[in-house]
Amino acid sequence: MIEIMDTTLRDGEQTSGVSFTVREKLSIAKLLLDELHVDRIEIASARVSEGEAESTRLIAAWAREQGFIDRIEVLGFVDGGVSLDWIASSGCRVVNLLAKGSLKHCTYQLRKTPQQHVEDIRTTIAQATGMGIAVNLYLEDWSNGINQSPQYVFDMMDALSCGPIRRFMIPDTLGILNPDNTYAFCSEMIRRYPDVRFDFHAHNDYDLAVANVMAAVKAGVHGIHTTINGLGERAGNAPLSSVIAVLNDQIKTPNGVVERRINHVSRVVETYTGVHIPANKPVVGENVFTQCAGIHADGDNKDNLYYNDLLPERFGRVREYALGKMSGKANIRKNLDALGIDLDEESMRKVTERIIELGDKKQTVTSDDLPYIIADILRQDVQETRVHILNYNLSLGQGLHPVATLKIRINDADYEETASGDGQYDAFMKALRKIYKGQLGRDFPMLTNYSVTIPPGGRTDAFVQTFISWEYRGQSFKTRGLDADQTEAAIKATLKMLNKIENMQ
């Protein structure tokens, strides 16, 4: 079993612009250990801030209750015991001690000789042991050290490897490695120190982090470090999602991570950070399980010719078939089958032509648009319209909260509500929730994502496409609205959602 140590809460928080709240940190810690089943998590750097101390205490208290306290780790420093006091006061019992893994760092940053640095490390380790704190040791800038000053690295290992250090953590701090030298350097460390447990910590500056992790595992390291969505300084760290896929499929290395929860945790972290997952990011990107070309959908109908081992169901996702100018009948049929709609060949031809026409105009078509396109082309309702917006008024004044008054008809009954919000659409949604939850006593979908696409060119009258993702009774779906006014576009997307859930009753 390879150990997975996730450092989203420490190294991942060094992503520019990312700072988790105390409750967000606790939530992510629970997701990592309870849902994903990673082996260990690094949750903080000692001495950073009072907020960091509060979140560390909260996570440690929860971890003790769950029996996880030995799986919680904190970055500490060779600072005369100050970090150790901070860690002990937070209730944690494992320090990831930061030492220098290259002669340059030791000489020019610490301004100490290697012997002086070793003695300082030994003193800190003795203090930690006396306090009941277990020690893992980071050799910061190890990749440069093993490349430029290997004797320094070996002297450090010779001096420290017999001490009470659980793991030596060998980081590619500046992301300079490639798979060839990663394998060579890791192999040399393991050959020289066969009784030592090594963790490899990759950075992604050359987009090689996952490949380097694969090489390190093949060389025989015992643990690897990841972050959710590849968060981290500069280009980030090795993303957990891709690492697990590679471990499971490419090198068949056992690990304890629960694949089907990866996408869920990635989306939660995306929400907390505001750092959007690229649509083409492997495993968790929005488009990676979407077939665009019609020939691919046709091949999937013929013995799954365009499937690989990365089946979306493994990661809690489903395969989708995009609708646009590259779509063929096979793509459209896949979407119609999912909606339970059957069309004859002539109707299929007309629908295909309309979707291609919309694609040429750079309008995105979702599966939820299909019933409306069909109704427009065939002049018949393939999905019953049971919700109508009769009237609404949105007011916006300087220094005042926007207010929305809304009147809708649901199954021939009329309802009216007024609400204020942080924006016009927020006020509209709050009025709508009042109707569904207050007057009807019914569940209301959760809005999970909201994005706007505006064509380039700077025209103020250009059409705006608003895409809204929803979750309702365990189902996720997306609706689109198109209008010159962004709020109107959002309301049109919302009306499609209302009719969809009404037809799900």
d(C-alpha 302, C-alpha 314), whole Å? 22
Nearest to 28 by CA among 13, 17, 16: 13
Write out the E strands in 411-456: 413-420, 446-453
Distance CA 192, CA 397 (A): 72
159 token code pair: 């001096």
- Does 409 qualify as catalytic in the annotation? no
Beta strand extents in 360-484 (DSSP E only):
387-395, 403-410, 413-420, 446-453, 464-472, 475-483
Q: Helix or strand or coil: residue 68?
A: coil
DSSP assignment of 328-353, as one string?
-HHHHHHHHHHHT----HHHHHHHHH
Nearest to 315 by CA among 3, 38, 37, 36: 36
Please name the residues in contact with 310: beta carbons below 8 A apart, sequence gap of 6 or more.
245, 249, 282, 283, 288, 289
- Is there a contact between 143 and 177 (Cβ–Cβ < 8 Å)? yes
| Beta strand pairing call for 413-420 and 403-410 | antiparallel
| Token reading at 253 | 């290395």
Which of these is catalytic: 13, 42, 52, 140? 140
Q: Which of 10, 40, 93, 167 is catalytic?
A: 10
Burial class (CB in 10 A: 0-12, 13-18, 19+), 52: buried
The rounded distance, in Å, linking the Cα atoms of 138 and 95 is 10
Q: Is residue 260 flagged as an active site residue? A: no
**Angle of CA points 123, 45, 31, to nearest 5°:** 130
**Of the candidates 407, 493, 388, the residue with the CA atom closest to the CA atom of residue 419:** 407
From CA 501, how far away is CA 480, in angstroms rounded? Answer: 15
153 Cα distance to chain centroid: 35
Report d(CA 448, CA 470) in Å as an integer: 5
C-alpha torsion angle, residues 446, 449, 450, 452 (rounded to 10): -150
Active site positions, annotated:
10, 140
